[in-house]
Structure 1
């Protein structure tokens, strides 16, 4: 069968595509072979000058990588795009910096390249030049405005993993380019104390590879240089190792001594596995460094040093340690299982490692043991109780299993929202009573312990003295209103997006919750103290008891209807036809047998009915409607808050709203 015109066209297109791919492959190969003749021939045969090979490499990028200026000129003249990116976001410009070719860098800048442009990993041309030690390229780029202290930009997801943030100086230090390091600091003003997203500065980067034989000498030289430049000696790497520990791992006594001479260093600081500099020296059986550390005051009662020396068969080390009062510590075989599920592994690790006790407190300030970061320090897991030591104030709390935000995001969340909000209100009341406004009532600042108790934290020191500044209190009340909505809606929306429209209208507390939120946002004159007694916090039994008690309080008045008709009672009665809504049999039973005064649709008569039904129980009514509180509160859900607000808003009768409720 003859192919149709359509199928013939498809075959032609496929053939054309295959030819284009072949030409692209050959063009890239010709560039990598530095064959100008081959490149010209392929371009004349129709090869795309901007075609891409594996990894997204264009011919121009390959020519730059090959450091072939003639090919670069040729390809640009033939229309090569200087802005094209590889799959990793790199451009011909960043490749030129890697090669270190100033002529190509200048040529590409003339084509409009952004000097601080970066690839997907945040590397700029300046950073690439530093990484590969291309000093001439560094100087050229700096002269053209490259930002010497620019930190590596990464995506939000990578930043959450503490990736990125490094500078060109850190790159030069990491790769051991001592001359480039000096140029960056002395001629370009690179900041030696900037940290990457893992908290590491240039010194840490310099010492990270120092243990390797080929990089030892340059790492030592860079380390001494940075120390002379005033670098912070107390920074740590991602494993919690200080510069001192890294220098001991390198087995560089000169660098160890130089670090100790700085004075401000903590000689007994430990990494995430609990190892101090002395422990590392003992593990490496380096008696010279161990002696130096002991002479400088390193503690020999931290860690089982004698046991390590014995395991190493290091008799001289054991003698040295005993000379400085080290003792053998028997191992504790006892197993222990934490109650906490969330922090189980970290707590077991803390329990197992040997740490000096601070009073009765066992704590290890490393990333693994940290619960929460704050501007004032950190919150760490600990065992037992605490005291003050070494210039730190240790405040010990019951273990916080999670914060409020985390708790509400869990599908198995079983929080009693009313009880939780009661504790939140109480916490803020106590803070206000001390004369402070919080100013940051975010779910992340409320912590829940293993028993479900909620704590309000302020570790970022946002609190402000009130000192009569009503606006600070009002700001806290508004924030509390938003937080209340967030809790009631189980954190389904972010704090700043949740609104009263998100409340479930069929909730048994809907009307009370809506009124309390509005009262908080409108800066109700009752303040936090008065609003803590709001009907929202009452149980069903308390609400029904309140309704039953009102008639007895108002019937002795000359005109009980005045109570709900005062000038300040803004709301209208929500059930103007309540006699039509209530069960007809109930109304008949309550009116006829005793020939009682007929019940009208007035609110006072509804309260009279509720009170009479309680004082004159009827088995037929109970069988008909079941529990009285359940029946009336479900049938008239807005009645409690209406009665409460009507009394509260009428100065003459506001005292009638007082009711004994459990203390917050």
Structure 2
């Protein structure tokens, strides 16, 4: 028998001559075609089992997507990497969760995959199983330790755009998988009130994106399990407004039975639930809302009903006093530059009033996020305010604390408060930015000394009220339009001191780090800044470094004493201090002992100080006109004497060389002030000299 002839295709391109890229392409094609024989042959010919096709897909990921268990096992046996990622960061595990094949999930996990690993958009395998309604896979992943309440992690850029933060429960709600929702909540303990980065909870996701039939069932279920009805979507629409948009009278009725619901709440366009119901021409819901007391004096309700030819609805509205059509508001310009646009929007938009307060509790009007909830913009009697909303019991305690701050100059104080049902609205003077934000703006110049003076005073005022702050972070200091700084504690980290000195010491240590952060212009995060990063005016460097060291070691002077540290003195006061010390010490017996070890702060930093002085200046001072020559030794006492004499008896010739005397000496001897200051305050016999200078020792 003659041998079989080769076909043209076989002879034209021998298999063995194909490139690695060709083999990889064919391997991925064979996997997607479920051709086990070709896969084996290609692998034997050297095809890379971890080669990537378009969008970064590996053969293993393709096999998982096709739900081919046998092929998955084969590829793993041949060295396929289960950790490989597609271009979007997805792995074979997240693909298996979408498919819902428990056997494949188990096989992949046996190769050491992290069950809570996520792709670049923050999706974990558990989230994907919930999203695709794969309940069996969901139960399996949960049994293996998947975190049911994990929020979607995204990078910083996406987080700034308020993307991410969703949970598996939200995914199931969005897709309308009611049975998965019940499993997550009832069996796995999913938190129904976690919010994503747009402040939306699971209820909002169900009503906003779910299909109408399942959304109603899911919404009812979530409400029965404690879902917060005050959550809003990214347009400020409440659950009630979304239910009206879905035209679900049953869900609207259920929501209205919740005592916390505000029937007159409105979205960012100023539309209440009743306005939406009238616009959608839903007579049943309009009737329900009117009977429950919805306001009929906002919006052109009658006009909209007439436009819809809904005469019965118009008659219903008139029976409930729908007559008033609001006129256009006068133009108004807020004082705040930072919050101008949001405040103008708040001013123009209808909002139900809380006493004299107009506010909008949704993400676009949130100016600060804290562990205790958000802080929102508000207008109280026309005054621009920052609003914190608390439950009455917690709010009453917080209100009392802020009222106690009323006489303090640099603690954030309460402006007004309003109460509505079980909520207390605490209103504070509106700030422009936090200290952290301010330091990130290089174009703006800041008086660092004045800033630190206000910070020290704020901490001192809090201590005087009997509290240690315990969270002295630049985000907790706020700056108003006039540049005044206030300290706040919205996270309620403060603790009663009550004789616990370690709490005060902890604040002082944190204050030292904050000083470094301010003086380095916030170039590094607070937690990373160190003394090596200190960058300030060279004339202040030694004093600043000494101030930080004093705070760090819980100096016995305490905050009051350190508030008058030489760092806060201007250059003229430092010069006057050195002159006064010489004038005082020269008439004291044994005055030179003030700078003798062991009482001196450290070794005198300028043991050859005479060599630093301009020769012509030194010569002129040694040989004053019409007076005996003066000998100056290299001791600290004679340096103080020289400084005093030059400033008191300098002539034009000397001043031409030295210029400003204070600056001249500070540049030559930058560590002298702190040396003299620390030497005297530590000396048992001479520390009274410091007290006479107004220093607390």
Common fold, TM-score beyond 0.5?
A: yes
Q: In the alignment, does 2:261 pair up with 1:265?
A: yes
Match of 2:640 in 1: 607
CA contact (8 A) 1:445 1:458 kept: yes
Match of 1:472 in 2: 503
> In 2 relative to 1, CA 647–261 (structure 1 residues): closer, same or farther, beyond 3 Å?
same
Matches within 5 A, 1:384-395: 384-385=382-383, 386-390=416-420, 391-395=422-426
CA contact (8 A) 1:307 1:329 kept: no
Q: In the alignment, does 2:290 pair up with 1:294?
A: yes
CA distance in 2, matches of 1:122, 1:268: 36
- Per mean C-alpha deviation after superposition, the further-off stretch among 444-453 and 147-156 is 147-156
> In 2 relative to 1, CA 551–318 (structure 1 residues): closer, same or farther, beyond 3 Å?
farther
> In 2 relative to 1, CA 80–644 (structure 1 residues): closer, same or farther, beyond 3 Å?
closer
- 1:521 is aligned, of 544, 552, 557, to 552
Q: In the alignment, does 2:508 pair up with 1:508?
A: no
Match of 1:154 in 2: 153
CA contact (8 A) 2:176 2:206 kept: yes
CA contact (8 A) 2:152 2:167 kept: no
CA contact (8 A) 1:579 1:599 kept: no
- 2:588 is aligned, of 518, 533, 557, to 557
Match of 2:405 in 1: none
Q: In the alignment, does 2:494 pair up with 1:463?
A: yes
> In 2 relative to 1, CA 550–621 (structure 1 residues): closer, same or farther, beyond 3 Å?
same
Q: In the alignment, does 2:367 pair up with 1:371?
A: yes
CA contact (8 A) 1:409 1:491 kept: yes
**Deviation string for 1:565-612 (max 9, x for gaps)?**
485333343334434433444444444323246142243444344444
Match of 2:538, SS? Answer: coil
Structure 2: give runs of 5+ residues left out of the alignment.
Answer: 1-11, 384-415
CA distance in 2, matches of 1:498, 1:76: 47
- 1:243 is aligned, of 239, 253, 261, to 239
CA distance in 2, matches of 1:111, 1:487: 49
**Deviation string for 1:221-248 (max 9, x for gaps)?**
2222333344333333333333222111
Matches within 5 A, 1:167-566: 167-186=167-186, 190-210=190-210, 215-300=211-296, 317=313, 319-326=315-322, 328-332=324-328, 334-383=330-379, 384-385=382-383, 386-390=416-420, 391-504=422-535, 507-565=538-596
CA contact (8 A) 2:142 2:148 kept: no
CA distance in 2, matches of 1:13, 1:541: 90
CA distance in 1, matches of 2:301, 2:105: 56
- Per mean C-alpha deviation after superposition, the further-off stretch among 74-83 and 584-593 is 74-83
CA contact (8 A) 1:208 1:246 kept: yes
**Deviation string for 1:159-185 (max 9, x for gaps)?**
565544444433332212334434544
Match of 1:642 in 2: 675
Match of 2:452, SS? Answer: helix
- Per mean C-alpha deviation after superposition, the further-off stretch among 30-39 and 540-549 is 30-39
What is the CA-CA distance between 1:461 and the residue it aligns to? 0.7
> In 2 relative to 1, CA 525–97 (structure 1 residues): closer, same or farther, beyond 3 Å?
closer
Match of 1:592 in 2: 624
> In 2 relative to 1, CA 227–501 (structure 1 residues): closer, same or farther, beyond 3 Å?
closer
- Per mean C-alpha deviation after superposition, the further-off stretch among 371-380 and 36-45 is 36-45
What is the CA-CA distance between 1:465 and the residue it aligns to? 0.9
CA distance in 2, matches of 1:79, 1:144: 28
What is the CA-CA distance between 1:510 and the residue it aligns to? 1.5
Please give the TM-score of this superposition, normalised by the length of structure 1: 0.84
Match of 1:629 in 2: 662
Matches within 5 A, 1:75-224: 85-92=85-92, 94-101=94-101, 118-138=118-138, 141=140, 145=144, 147=146, 149-151=148-150, 153-157=152-156, 158=158, 161-186=161-186, 190-210=190-210, 215-224=211-220
> In 2 relative to 1, CA 240–597 (structure 1 residues): closer, same or farther, beyond 3 Å?
same
- Per mean C-alpha deviation after superposition, the further-off stretch among 627-636 and 59-68 is 59-68
- Per mean C-alpha deviation after superposition, the further-off stretch among 392-401 and 529-538 is 392-401
Q: In the alignment, does 2:606 pair up with 1:575?
A: yes
CA contact (8 A) 1:424 1:456 kept: yes
What is the CA-CA distance between 1:372 and the residue it aligns to? 0.9
CA distance in 2, matches of 1:219, 1:337: 42
CA contact (8 A) 1:302 1:356 kept: no
Equivalenced residue count is: 647
CA distance in 2, matches of 1:22, 1:223: 53
CA distance in 2, matches of 1:108, 1:606: 78
> In 2 relative to 1, CA 623–15 (structure 1 residues): closer, same or farther, beyond 3 Å?
farther
- Per mean C-alpha deviation after superposition, the further-off stretch among 547-556 and 432-441 is 547-556
What is the CA-CA distance between 1:190 and the residue it aligns to? 4.7
> In 2 relative to 1, CA 260–394 (structure 1 residues): closer, same or farther, beyond 3 Å?
closer
Match of 1:524, SS? Answer: coil
> In 2 relative to 1, CA 375–541 (structure 1 residues): closer, same or farther, beyond 3 Å?
same
CA distance in 2, matches of 1:109, 1:499: 43
Match of 2:212, SS? Answer: helix
CA distance in 2, matches of 1:646, 1:48: 74
CA contact (8 A) 2:271 2:350 kept: no
- Per mean C-alpha deviation after superposition, the further-off stretch among 243-252 and 344-353 is 344-353
> In 2 relative to 1, CA 185–489 (structure 1 residues): closer, same or farther, beyond 3 Å?
closer
Match of 2:432, SS? Answer: strand
CA distance in 1, matches of 2:479, 2:142: 55
> In 2 relative to 1, CA 586–231 (structure 1 residues): closer, same or farther, beyond 3 Å?
closer
Match of 1:5 in 2: none
What is the CA-CA distance between 1:467 and the residue it aligns to? 0.9
What is the CA-CA distance between 1:460 and the residue it aligns to? 0.6
- RMSD of equivalent CA atoms: 3.8
